[in-house]
A = this chain, B = another copy of it.
Amino acid sequence: MRREPLLMIPGPTEVSTQALLAMAKPVVSHRDEDFSAFFKQLTEKAKQVFQTQNDLFILAASGTGGVEAAVANLTRKGDKVVVPVFGTFSDRVAEAVKRYGGEVIRIEIPLGEGPTASLIEKTLEKHPDTKVVYIVYNETSTGVTVRELPQIAKIAHKFDAVVVADAISILGGDELPVDPWEIDVCVTGAQKCLATPPGIALVSVSDRAWRLIEREGLSTFYFDLSRYKKFFDERGQTPFTPAIPLLFALDIALTEILEEGLENRIRRHRLCAQAIYSAVEAWGMTPFAKEPFRSNTVIAVKYPPNFDDAKFRGLLKRKYRIAVAGGIGITKGMVFRIGCMGNIGPQDVVLTIAAMEAVLYEIGYLKEVGKGLAAAVRKLASL
């Protein structure tokens, strides 16, 4: 059996054959005017998916590199920065801000929940001199989505703070209209809901954010966004060599996204996620995230008592060729996580549910097979 496992993990995700093949095109010069034309239309396409008219940069880096770019450009020594921490990735943001000299105002949030607008408002009332509010819009480690992100942005702006959304595991899979929601810096990675192979990060930057970025004291050179802006505006290029084959793949993936339509795409993600949540509950299991924070792109499920995760996920991968993730960082050993991202559709959902039921039966957790699939199928009926 030579089949690569179906990626039902929270990234990297399944990439279309068209996007994969695009990478096999000959490499071109990134200082060529043909490249500039390609890169400008690629950036425009990405802006459509971000729903923004802000600047947008495509970096040769993984998603965390995109977060580093945001942090390094926005933070100066002693800046007050609010970071609600509710999982591994928000904790990483807090750590990165600290390393760049920011004074982190951590808001500790119970696991399985996310920050609310009122919580951010209270924090900003105590710290009205806050420069930046970082929101991990989708906490990949816990399967939590911050449902009040647009309200949080409005509150932050009332206090004249810049809002950064780490949208790595969600942009392209759930609502995130960057301009209407007033997100100043939005970061994503290619390898999640954009269904592009890993290795590039996308970062949008508003005028309000530029005011913080353009202060003295920038330490990064590689992620210097002002330099990216200069090169893009003057030549439609990047200051350093871009990851060209990944841009070819991204171009195809963005075209596929726009052809499907953002609204359809978000609806597909939501219904596929609901189908998975329904199956999980039919099996007598409990999602890790509490309502209303349940993510439509990462479904985290609490391990039942005495549950052998290695056996469960191992069998699922070896016998049925389906990869799902365990916990990460703070949720390690507490959950398994199903990615519902990018190109995942009804076929992948029924396959995953069917195979999971088979494995849950084989390891003795389920006494009968079919209930999860029935629950999932009822949800998928409306797609």
Chain A residues within CB distance 8 Å of chain B: 4-5, 7, 9, 11-15, 17, 20-21, 23-32, 60-65, 67-68, 71-72, 92, 95-96, 99-101, 189, 191, 197-200, 218-223, 239-246, 249, 317, 323, 325
A14 neighbours in B (Cβ, 8 Å)? 26-27
The residues of B that contact A244 with a CB separation of less than 8 Å are: 12, 197-199
- Complex: A72 Cα to B245 Cα, angstroms: 27
Q: Is the CB of A199 within 8 A of B5?
A: no
Residues of B within 8 A of A323 (CB): 29, 32
| Interface pair A243/B198, CB less than 8 Å apart | yes
List 4 A-B pairs, minimum CB-CB distance, nearest first.
A199-B243, A68-B222, A23-B23, A96-B221
The answer to whether A222 touches B61, judged by C-beta atoms less than 8 angstroms apart, is yes
Q: Which residue of the partner chain B has the closest CB to A6? A: B26
A92 to B26, CA, bound (A): 29
Q: Which of B9, B67, B96 contacts A29 (CB 8 A)?
A: B9
CA of A71 to CA of B249, assembled, Å: 31
| Contact assessment for B240 and A64 in the assembled complex, using a CB-CB cutoff below 8 Å | yes
Chain B nearest CB from A60 CB (Å) reads 5
Do residues A325 and B31 form an inter-chain contact, with CB atoms below 8 A? yes
Cβ of A197 and Cβ of B15 under 8 Å apart?
Answer: no
Contact B95 A11 (CB under 8 A): no
Contact A198 B242 (CB under 8 A): yes
Known: A198-B30, A323-B32. A241 touches B23 (CB 8 A): no
**Residues on the B chain within 8 Å of A240, using CB:** 62-65
Most buried by B among A26, A63, A100: A26
| Minimal beta-carbon separation of A331 from chain B (angstroms) | 14
Give bound CA distance, A53 to B242, whole Å: 29
Whether A7 and B31, one on each chain, are in contact in the complex, defined by CB atoms closer than 8 angstroms, is no
A204 to chain B, nearest CB (A): 19
Query: What's the nearest-Cβ distance from chain B to residue A87, in Å?
Result: 16
